[in-house]
A and B are shown apart, each in its own frame.
Chain A
Amino acid sequence: MKKAFQIPDPAARAVSAPPAPASPSRRNFLRGVPVLTAAAAIAPTPAIASTGRQQWAMLIDVRKCIGCQACTVSCIQENAVPEGSFRTVVSTYSVKLTDSAQPAGTYVLPRLCNHCDNPPCIPVCPVSATYKREDGIVAVDGDRCVGCAYCVQACPYDARFINHETNKADKCTFCAHRVDAGLLPACVETCVGGARIFGDINDPEGELARRLKEAQPQLKVLKPELETAPRVFYIGLDERFTGKVEGQGTLWKPRSLPHA
């Protein structure tokens, strides 16, 4: 199901958003993602326990990630994410080594919305615009969101932001529009190192369930103490990076946005 490397195939992208023009207007943006809007229009449903139906999840094998940011770029392309905002990114750290001739090594950590099973972003939404789909994907109903950003505050993973083109809450959707059409999320499709595995945790035959089972003893999630029950699992997650990273702040900042 997963290929080690794949050049984006235009045919496979037929149902997804076209690559974003340099400065897509809001109208173009909305027109570009009909599948997403259709999915989001489905009536919100309360969080469900596993019902034996599909429950989408992701496994990230940090050991295989090469920090190339192909996922970051493909996500921006696929979802027309405005400049300066990110639905996924590979946080990169330089770590001093003590047990090697090299002075320092690089640690990479792909981050995205964890599609938590106990998501703190949902109860705070004052208009129930954020909800959990039956398949486990945490989604935002763009027709209902008032852009209050309470969910942005409540997410412990900095996964959410206000999209300056739509003025609504935005975050990773697990590429719900692609998944609904039987495709993999864009980041998984483009992952160079084969580090991202996506699938249904309820499908015992599936690659995801098999790999999760194999890796069971070393599986970790981010900020487990918050009991958010993330649906993004990691292999090779260093203890020092599971929460707020103690270290020197980022050396890089996005160019400040040209606010309207």
Chain B
Amino acid sequence: MNPNIVETLNVAREVAWLPWAVQYFFLIGLSYGAYLLSLPGIVFRRPGWAGISRLALLGALVCGLAAPVALLADLHQPGRFWHFYAYFTPSSWMSWGAFFIPVYLGGLLIYAWLAFRPELARHAASGGKLGGLAGVLAYGGHDSRGALKAAALLTFVGAGLVALYTGAEVAVVQARPLWNTPLLPLQFFVTAFAGAVGLALLFNRFGLRDAAASRRMAGVLAASQVAALAVGALCLALGVSGISPVHVQALAEVGPSANWQLSAVWAVAATVLTLVLAWKAPGSGLLIGLLALHSAWMMRWSIFIGGQEVPKTGAGYYSYALPLGPEGLLGIVGTAGLWVFLFVLITTLLPLDRLAAGTPDKAAA
């Protein structure tokens, strides 16, 4: 900061991507991360993964269904969402995103339905809550491997495209040096995947409490934290060494701010703590699960809200105070409420402990 210049009059621009956007990026990230975690048990039938993968698929579904609502709410003209489809604009990543989301969610719904069909039939047969509905949804309850694999592949393509566009959309914004780095999409991806593991750990904790599954996930989580630290260190090295001008600029933009220094220390400390716990005390499923989810959310909050606190032309920083209404706190609480509603609805038909048990694979084999 140059102490010889004091800004006496200027505009303070408001945050234009609201906490709704943070929620969207958080939920869609958890969803595609959890989808990936569903593959080893459900598609590849790796031993010991069945329960984990079914819990993960539940997470992918709940987060994936809640995410678009947050995205719509972030538009200031939500009723005009159809304009995205009427006025496709290939130069805009956001425009592509409007087409990628349905590919991913469509694939995910079919994949989840095919994967859970036998389970739904079992729920109906056992006379569980809403058994009638489960029976209708099961539609015979067949386990069709071919179709399942095809749907998983479609979802894989969709998940890849969603991960690509959500990262690129932010990373291409040259006007915000903090966002404009090629590593940002990778950071989104790594933290999203780690958050998804955290979510599956929580589901396991509140379901069967399968200790073996918890340890297995702790191992995956530890690996993801190593990856997160490695990418973070690479960003820092590129910025400090001056090798990459975009990273130098990104660092210069937030480096001098005490708030940002605190956020950075916090993020690194949380990641290291998660890593150490996952490695040394893999039984602490609840704690490391929550820590991983917290890191994924905080990263997005800092990037989006913190990033918009950096003026593009003015001096210093804008200060953001979370409003209590729909444009602030209510948005966060609202998406959380929707998430809980979807979770309760789906787990009524597909109870957590049954998913965690992972028996149907054996039955079908």
The interface of chain A, by Cβ under 8 A from chain B, is: 67, 69, 86, 89-96, 106-107, 111, 120, 122-129, 144-150, 152-158, 161-162, 167-168, 222, 226, 240, 243-254, 256-257, 259-260
B241 at the interface (CB under 8 A from A): no
If the complex has contacts A244-B313, A245-B314, are A93 and B13 also in contact, measured as CB distance less than 8 A?
no
Indicate if the CB atoms of A91 and B312 lie closer than 8 Å: no
If the complex has contacts A126-B89, A161-B14, are A251 and B6 also in contact, measured as CB distance less than 8 A?
yes
Indicate if the CB atoms of B173 and A91 lie closer than 8 Å: no
Min Cβ gap B96→A in Å is: 8
A206 to B16, CA, bound (A): 39
Chain B count of residues within 8 A CB distance of the other chain: 54
Indicate if the CB atoms of A246 and B11 lie closer than 8 Å: no
Residues in B with CB closer than 8 Å to A158 are 11, 13, 311-314
Interface residues of B in 172-225 (CB under 8 A from A): 172-176
Indicate if the CB atoms of A259 and B313 lie closer than 8 Å: no
Indicate if the CB atoms of B175 and A120 lie closer than 8 Å: yes
Q: List 14 A-B contacts (CB under 8 A).
A: A89-B11, A91-B7, A93-B7, A96-B4, A111-B313, A124-B92, A127-B95, A153-B176, A155-B175, A240-B5, A244-B312, A244-B315, A247-B5, A249-B317
Identify the closest chain A residue to B328 (Cβ): A259
Interface residues of B in 86-129 (CB under 8 A from A): 86-87, 89, 91-95, 97-98
If the complex has contacts A153-B173, A259-B327, are A126 and B8 also in contact, measured as CB distance less than 8 A?
no
Residues in A with CB closer than 8 Å to B16 are 149, 152-153, 161-162
A126 to B10, CA, bound (A): 30
**Could you give, for residues 1-29 of chain B, a 1 whenever the CB lies within 8 Å of some chain A CB and a 0 otherwise?**
11111111111111011000000000000
Min Cβ gap B273→A in Å is: 33
If the complex has contacts A146-B81, A148-B75, are A86 and B11 also in contact, measured as CB distance less than 8 A?
yes
**Could you give, for residues 68-93 of chain B, a 1 whenever the CB lies within 8 Å of some chain A CB and a 0 otherwise?**
00000011110011011011010111
Residues in B with CB closer than 8 Å to A125 are 89, 92
Indicate if the CB atoms of B314 and A156 lie closer than 8 Å: no
A247 to B319, CA, bound (A): 16
Residues in B with CB closer than 8 Å to A69 are 9
Q: Which interface residue of A123, A244, A259 has the most chain B CB atoms within 10 A?
A: A244
Indicate if the CB atoms of B7 and A245 lie closer than 8 Å: yes
Indicate if the CB atoms of B11 and A247 lie closer than 8 Å: no
Of B9, B77, B89, the contact of A252 (CB 8 Å cutoff): B9
Indicate if the CB atoms of A144 and B83 lie closer than 8 Å: yes
A226 to B180, CA, bound (A): 13
B323 at the interface (CB under 8 A from A): yes
Indicate if the CB atoms of A148 and B74 lie closer than 8 Å: yes
B325 at the interface (CB under 8 A from A): yes
B316 at the interface (CB under 8 A from A): yes
A155 to B93, CA, bound (A): 16
Identify the closest chain A residue to B79 (Cβ): A146
Identify the closest chain A residue to B323 (Cβ): A259
Indicate if the CB atoms of B76 and A248 lie closer than 8 Å: no
Of A89, A107, A127, the contact of B83 (CB 8 Å cutoff): A127
Indicate if the CB atoms of B2 and A126 lie closer than 8 Å: no
If the complex has contacts A126-B89, A153-B17, are A245 and B9 also in contact, measured as CB distance less than 8 A?
no
Min Cβ gap B40→A in Å is: 35
Identify the closest chain A residue to B176 (Cβ): A153
A80 to B316, CA, bound (A): 29
A181 to B312, CA, bound (A): 33
Residues in A with CB closer than 8 Å to B5 are 93-96, 107, 240, 245-248
Of A226, A250, A259, the contact of B10 (CB 8 Å cutoff): A250
Indicate if the CB atoms of A250 and B92 lie closer than 8 Å: no
Min Cβ gap A64→B in Å is: 18
A149 to B93, CA, bound (A): 13
Residues in A with CB closer than 8 Å to B169 are 150
Identify the closest chain A residue to B98 (Cβ): A126
Residues in A with CB closer than 8 Å to B12 are 250, 253-254
Residues in A with CB closer than 8 Å to B8 are 92-94, 106, 250-252
Residues in A with CB closer than 8 Å to B11 are 86, 89, 91, 111, 158, 254
Indicate if the CB atoms of A167 and B9 lie closer than 8 Å: no
Residues in B with CB closer than 8 Å to A106 are 8
Beyond the given pairs A146-B83, A244-B314, 9 more chain A to chain B contacts, judged by CB atoms under 8 angstroms and listed by A's residue number, are A69-B9, A93-B6, A124-B92, A125-B92, A129-B83, A146-B77, A149-B16, A155-B312, A245-B7
Of A89, A156, A253, the contact of B174 (CB 8 Å cutoff): A156
A147 to B327, CA, bound (A): 14
The 8 closest A-B pairs by CB, nearest first: A249-B316, A147-B76, A247-B5, A149-B16, A123-B91, A92-B9, A126-B95, A156-B175
Of A126, A153, A247, the contact of B6 (CB 8 Å cutoff): A247
Residues in B with CB closer than 8 Å to A127 are 83-84, 86-87, 89, 95
If the complex has contacts A126-B89, A168-B76, are A149 and B17 also in contact, measured as CB distance less than 8 A?
yes
Residues in B with CB closer than 8 Å to A123 are 89, 91-92
Of A91, A92, A128, A248, the contact of B313 (CB 8 Å cutoff): A91
